[in-house]
């Protein structure tokens, strides 16, 4: 396997990485994503013996795009990849290495819209009812109750500090995408679960740690740890499928829409900048209504019975 330094365009990719790190001040996680996307270009250039930027033209990028699509990459993945390439080529043009952007005009194929998986109300209730009074059980119980109660993103849950939650006022202040803050209500079950957890948190948290949820080492719990804990809870609660943090958020949104039919309210609670992002839950709501219709409407029942006898 070739090292990054041995691949074509190594100098240009490294210069671009330094630009993103120093001038754009992107996080290491985002930088890694750019490097992975550009490595695909470098490996393709190696197989095609394209050793310089000026040999990579529009047709080569089109061929690589088709190749990745055939290998199973979806529309969103390919759109992100094309975006990374366009940024890299724009950087190359500013440096005088290229005259035109070979990725311009290319579009990723559209992926079929997948509806997010959700738990129904009974399943959600089953999942969040955790037993145990030890530190881990109380912490996990507070986490899942809070995620489901307020529709939090994983990053919002992990970044929450003790001072951000007001148990008396039953509210929480979170920082969402784009560093936008919003205040959310917290349900009574979540309030009770957090109160129980706070009773043991101080015995485990480091003295200067502001995070609401901490690991056994006393530091802020990581994203991966929360995901792993939810996977284990899924098994213990007999869910029959792994429940991930975003599934609780989807379930929160779906259940709120089923009860209120207020799309703007759900948009506000979820922190969506565009209501079109929230509208996916109207499809979930329709699925719920269709299921109720099929089980309740006499003509729907007759149709199903007739179908069974054919």
Residues in the chain: 310
- Our answer to whether residue 58 is catalytic in this structure is no
- Our answer to whether residue 281 is catalytic in this structure is yes
Domain ranges for the chain: 4-94, 121-247
Q: In which residue are the tokens 């119980």 written? A: 141
CB 220 within 8 A of CB 211: yes
pTM (2 decimals)? 0.56
The pLDDT value recorded for residue 145 is 95
Task: Name the 3-class secondary structure at 174.
Answer: strand
The pLDDT value recorded for residue 253 is 84
> 121-247, superfamily in CATH?
Intergrase catalytic core (1.10.443.10)
pLDDT in tens, 231-242: 999 999 999 889
Candidate list 58, 229, 272, 288, residue with the active-site label: 272
Nearest to 82 by CA among 100, 59, 62: 62
- Our answer to whether residue 177 is catalytic in this structure is yes
Candidate list 177, 195, 264, 303, residue with the active-site label: 177
Q: In which residue are the tokens 């365009």 written? A: 9
Exposed (0-12), middle (13-18) or buried (19+): which is 227, by Cβ within 10 Å?
middle
- Our answer to whether residue 46 is catalytic in this structure is no
pLDDT in tens, 9-28: 999 999 999 999 999 999 99
User: Which residues of the chain fall below pLDDT 70?
Assistant: 1-2, 4, 111-116, 261, 273, 275-310
C-alpha to C-alpha distance for 194 and 192, rounded to whole angstroms:
6
Candidate list 80, 196, 246, 288, residue with the active-site label: 246
- Our answer to whether residue 246 is catalytic in this structure is yes
CA distances to 125, 178, 268 from 156, in Å: 22, 12, 15
Candidate list 220, 249, 250, 255, residue with the active-site label: 249
Q: In which residue are the tokens 């996680």 written? A: 29
The pLDDT value recorded for residue 190 is 94
Report the Cα–Cα distance between both ends of the chain, in Å, rounded. 59
Query: What is the third-level CATH fold of 4-94?
Result: DNA polymerase; domain 1 (1.10.150)
Nearest to 119 by CA among 232, 237, 221: 237
Candidate list 153, 173, 182, 204, residue with the active-site label: 153
For 261-267, which contacts have Cβ atoms below 8 Å and span 24 or more sequence positions?
Answer: 261/285
């Amino acid at each position: 396997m070739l090292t990054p330094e041995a691949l074509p365009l190594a100098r240009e990719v490294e210069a671009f990485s330094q630009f993103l790190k120093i001038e754009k001040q992107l996080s290491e996680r985002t930088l890694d994503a750019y490097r992975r996307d550009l490595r695909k270009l470098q490996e393709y250039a190696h197989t095609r013996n394209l050793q310089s930027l000026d040999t990579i033209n529009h047709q080569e990028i089109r061929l690589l795009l088709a190749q990745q699509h055939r290998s199973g990459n979806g529309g969103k993945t390919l759109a992100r990849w094309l975006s990374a390439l366009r940024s890299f080529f724009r950087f190359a043009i500013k440096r005088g290495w290229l005259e035109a952007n070979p990725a311009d005009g290319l579009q990723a194929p559209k992926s079929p819209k997948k509806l997010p998986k959700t738990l129904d109300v009974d399943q959600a209730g089953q999942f969040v009812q955790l037993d145990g009074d030890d530190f881990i059980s109380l912490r996990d119980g507070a986490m899942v109750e809070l995620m489901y109660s307020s529709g939090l993103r994983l990053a919002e849950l992990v970044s929450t500090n003790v001072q951000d939650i007001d148990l008396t006022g039953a509210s929480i202040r979170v920082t969402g995408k784009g560093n936008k803050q919003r205040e959310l209500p917290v349900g009574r079950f979540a309030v009770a679960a957090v109160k129980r957890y706070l009773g043991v948190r101080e015995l485990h948290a480091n003295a200067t740690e502001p995070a609401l949820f901490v690991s056994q080492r006393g530091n802020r719990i990581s994203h991966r740890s929360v995901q792993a804990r939810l996977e284990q809870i899924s098994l213990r609660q007999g869910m029959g499928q792994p429940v991930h943090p975003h599934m609780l958020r989807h379930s929160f949104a779906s259940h709120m829409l089923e009860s209120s039919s207020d799309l703007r309210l759900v948009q506000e609670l979820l922190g969506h900048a565009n209501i079109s992002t929230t509208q996916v839950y109207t499809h979930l709501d329709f699925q719920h209504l269709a299921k109720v219709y099929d089980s309740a409407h006499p003509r729907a029942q007759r149709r199903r019975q007739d179908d069974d006898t054919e």
